[in-house]
Amino acid sequence: MDPNHTISASATSGSDFGGSVFDHVVQAPEDPILGVTVAYNKDPSPVKLNLGVGAYRTEEGKPLVLNVVRRAEQLLVNDRSRVKEYLPIVGLAEFNKLSAKLMFGADSPAIQVKRVTTVQCLSGTGSLRVGAEFLARHHHQRTIYIPQPTWGNHGKIFTLAGLSVKTYRYYDPATRGLNFQGLLEDLSLAPSGAIVLLHACAHNPTGVDPTLQQWEQIRQLIRLKGLLPFFDSAYQGFASGSLDADAQSVRMFVADGGECLAAQSYAKNMGLYGERVGALSIVCKTADVASRVESQVKLVIRPMFSNPPIHGASIVAIILKNRDMYNEWTVELKAMADRIISMRQQLFDALRARGTPGDWNHILKQIGMFTFTGLNTAQVAFMTKEYHVYMTSDGRISMAGLSSKTVPHLADAIHAAVTRAI
């Protein structure tokens, strides 16, 4: 062999080629919400408290797997006829049917006339993304209006899907309530056909929801202007403890015969966070349109994740179709919602007992998992540094992460932050 052609092993080893082809890649910032947990995990303090991430915790501060979910999983494990074959592109048919009923009502005429298409997606995030990509390809108006503020992932999901993101006024820091006038003004200036992202209930991060009368005015404006509502329903049942009450906003928009989209998540209300179970429904004018829409949604899903996972959707389907298990679920769900509501009262009482300056009524008034405290970035940083209390820098705290034992510590931290005038 010609020695000039001998390629030595060391000359071809990857480490000899100098720098990495990824040398130019810069360190990305932590996700603002998930980064809170990263910082919390690094803190050795025994009194540390994580109120950043929106996941339910028990009074003992532990994650909760619902009893009814354990039962459903047991049934799945014991059923030897179950296999691990791929699901269809649109997911588990039974899950889709039951999810649509949960969202739109068991007797929904829209479902009966088949003008709703529902596809299983990867929890709420995946459902939003699939819906957004479908809209970017097929809706004539590619602008989406999202509330100011909103869940941190919304803007990124819609931008990456190819939509142009604008905001509408939502929260009024002065009243710590809804800026209803601003909302109506901004939506009335939106171009016809624009998409409007609405939180179905328990608005994240503010905990501020429109009243039913305000929803009705929003509905009239949206229909008058020919806007397209896209509901994000991540907390059905978590806000009030009632699955039907928390779906009222969405159902009003379906009852008028118009079109809308809804992204559903089972992360919070069934505690299936890591199972990634959700559904996207597109409510159309007619069954014929719905069927064509579904055929196009399949073309979005197939190259994205091919087909969704089977386990979580099977748990949900078992619970939703069995009356006894469904009832057990509603009781467990109500208990979670009630514990959160009681944390609101306890925190409010603790601040009042300390004479903490300010009006804290919004803690009682706001709805769902989060309280938008009104604390500023400097106050949040102070509470983290001095009291080891972790939360997002906008002052949002997860009420679900609090317990009777930790309320006094949080109240002490808030009191100190507010009275030290930082």
Ligand X SMILES: Cc1ncc(COP(=O)(O)O)c(C=O)c1O
Which one, 54 or 413, has the nearer CB to ligand X? 54
The answer to whether 172 is a known catalytic residue is no
- Considering only 265, 346, 384, 398, the residue that binds ligand X (CB under 6 A) is 265
Which of 186, 209, 232, 412 is catalytic? The answer is 232
- Considering only 91, 258, 271, 278, the residue that binds ligand X (CB under 6 A) is 278
Task: Write the CB contacts of 142 (distance below 8 Å, at least 6 apart in sequence).
Answer: 135, 136, 162, 163, 164
Which of 186, 209, 268, 360 is catalytic? The answer is 268
Could you give the CA distance from residue 232 to residue 229 in angstroms, rounded to a whole number? 10
Binding mask 232-261 for ligand X (x = CB under 6 A): x-x---------------------------
The answer to whether 268 is a known catalytic residue is yes
Q: Which region, judged by CB under 6 A, interacts with ligand X, from 38-46, 123-131, 162-170, 333-341? A: 123-131
Q: From the CB of 273, what's the least distance to ligand X, in Å?
A: 6
Residues 313-352 binding ligand X (CB under 6 A) are none
**Sign of the dihedral through C-alpha 368, 108, 140, 189:** negative
Which one, 193 or 309, has the nearer CB to ligand X? 309
Could you give the CA distance from residue 342 to residue 380 in angstroms, rounded to a whole number? 23
Q: Is 267 in the site for ligand X (CB under 6 A)?
A: yes
Binding mask 177-216 for ligand X (x = CB under 6 A): ----------------------x----x------------
Task: Show the tokens assigned to 102.
Answer: 């949960």
* Cβ–Cβ under 8 Å, residues 235 and 246: yes
How many other C-beta atoms are found inside a 10 Å radius of the C-beta of residue 219?
19
Omega of the bond leading into 149 within 30 degrees of 0 (cis): yes
Q: From the CB of 15, what's the least distance to ligand X, in Å?
A: 40
Q: Which region, judged by CB under 6 A, interacts with ligand X, from 119-127, 215-223, 249-257, 410-418? A: 119-127
Could you give the CA distance from residue 308 to residue 123 in angstroms, rounded to a whole number? 10
Binding mask 133-172 for ligand X (x = CB under 6 A): ------------------x---------------------
Could you give the CA distance from residue 284 to residue 139 in angstroms, rounded to a whole number? 13
Q: From the CB of 127, what's the least distance to ligand X, in Å?
A: 8
Which one, 360 or 370, has the nearer CB to ligand X? 370
Size of the site for ligand X (CB under 6 A): 12
Strand ranges (E), 41-138 = 49-50, 116-122
Based on the number of CB atoms within 10 Å of its own CB, is 356 exposed (0-12), middle (13-18) or buried (19 or more)?
A: middle
Which of 48, 151, 360, 412 is catalytic? The answer is 151
Q: From the CB of 207, what's the least distance to ligand X, in Å?
A: 11
* Cβ–Cβ under 8 Å, residues 33 and 52: yes
Strand ranges (E), 77-194 = 116-122, 143-148, 164-169, 171-172, 177-178
Over the range 233-263, which residues count as b (16 or more CB within 10 Å of their CB) and which as e?
A: bbbbbbbbbebeebbebbbebbeeebbbbbb
Q: Is 269 in the site for ligand X (CB under 6 A)?
A: no
Task: Show the tokens assigned to 122.
Answer: 């990867």
Which one, 232 or 259, has the nearer CB to ligand X? 232
What is the DSSP-derived secondary structure letter of residue 314? H
- Considering only 124, 131, 258, 368, the residue that binds ligand X (CB under 6 A) is 124
The answer to whether 48 is a known catalytic residue is no
Could you give the CA distance from residue 362 to residue 206 in angstroms, rounded to a whole number? 10
**Catalytic residue set:** 151, 232, 268
Residues that bind ligand X (CB under 6 A): 54, 123-125, 151, 199, 204, 232, 234, 265, 267, 278
